[in-house]
Amino acid sequence: MSEPIGSITAAVLGVADFGPHLDFYCGELGYAVAAEGVVAAADANRLWGEGAGDVEVRSLAAAGAATGRIHLLKVNDPAAPAVHPHTLDLGVAGINLYTRDIAASYERLRAAGHPWISPPQAYDVPVGERTVQVVEGYCLGPGGVPVVFVEPAGPRPTAAWLADPERRHTELTSVVCHVPDFEAELRFWAALGMSAGYDVTFAAPGLDTMADLPPGTRLRLAFLAGPDGGTTRIEMIRADRPGVDRRSAQRPARGLGHTAWSARTDDLDEAVARAAGAGGRVRCRPFAATTPLHGTSRLAMVETPNGVHVELWQPRHVSDR
């Protein structure tokens, strides 16, 4: 039996106004609107909870990549104002992507009015018995979304750079969450076919500076990837000093900022059953709909043991074969 999930296909962002986000992701980072329209209230209320109403949406893609997309949902009645979650805060946090030249990205985005916590920082992370240097910068993107830029020494292949080797930025390379129960989250994603190929605990002064962490913060970090080789991994962290719990406000189509993830499956019923059996909560049972974000598909919504909302979707043609 194949694994239910291969990779994360999109980060879901709640927005009050599309304009600043389109200016940032499309105007500055080179994404394009791959789909747009309205998710009808009947489908939106079922998937995201009563009260969502008709939801205007945009799907943004880098060089047409099918994964690592950004789904913008216009929130009709936000549950809370937009806030940039701190790295120590519990819940979903940043969205990450590669850049060819992080110094150039830093200067360009600052000149356009997008602040960063600090200039890009280099720091060492352990990989087995050796260390590798990472260069990252933390930009306070529009609408309360933290955007982390990574200039990799040895980048993994990405669909955007394979399609357009000259472009400056890739599709999303990871989506980040800070969870209080690390082991429960690992078991949940393992049941859905995602495995941790990297799981370390470390501290680094450059990381403290880049993410505005108290000096000496120890961080457990794991990257979870699926078998399909998709670009976007789950970046799971647990700090030794957690901050504010943001999870109650991170509701797709009701909250602003980074609120959820989307993941494709070839067997939605199996994926939902495994999610429930691994300590997750089924928020929405599978149903069929046609939406701008997922075309004609079957959709469901689950919540991980640590409160991360995940849309599961299965293209209808897969089940119809």
> Tell me: the pLDDT tens digits for 270-293?
999 999 999 999 999 999 999 999
pTM listed for this prediction: 0.96
**pLDDT computed for residue 316 by the predictor:** 86
**pLDDT computed for residue 317 by the predictor:** 64
Higher pLDDT, 129 or 235: 235
Segment 150-168 shows an average pLDDT of 91
- Per the DSSP assignment, residues forming a β-bridge with 86 are none
Per-residue pLDDT at 1 exceeds 70: no
> Tell me: the pLDDT tens digits for 112-123?
999 999 999 999
Per-residue pLDDT at 171 exceeds 70: yes
Query: Locate tokens 């304009």: which residue?
Result: 19
**pLDDT computed for residue 110 by the predictor:** 97
Segment 130-144 shows an average pLDDT of 93
**pLDDT computed for residue 227 by the predictor:** 83
| Bridge-based pairing state of the strands 5-15 and 69-74 | parallel
Segment 194-201 shows an average pLDDT of 90
Domains and CATH numbers, the chain: 91-239 (3.10.180.10)
Q: If pLDDT is split at 50, 70 and 90, which confidence band does 2 have?
A: low
Per-residue pLDDT at 128 exceeds 80: no
Segment 192-201 shows an average pLDDT of 91
Per-residue pLDDT at 321 exceeds 70: no
Q: If pLDDT is split at 50, 70 and 90, which confidence band does 320 have?
A: very low
Higher pLDDT, 132 or 224: 224
Q: How far apart are the first and last CA of the chain?
A: 17
**pLDDT computed for residue 319 by the predictor:** 41
Per-chain mean pLDDT for the chain? 94
Within 8 A by CB and 6+ apart from 77, the residues are: 51, 254
Sign, CA dihedral 286-290-294-297, equals positive
Per-residue pLDDT at 159 exceeds 90: yes
Is-contact 68 172, C-beta < 8 A?
yes
Is-contact 257 145, C-beta < 8 A?
yes
Segment 239-255 shows an average pLDDT of 94
Segment 171-191 shows an average pLDDT of 97
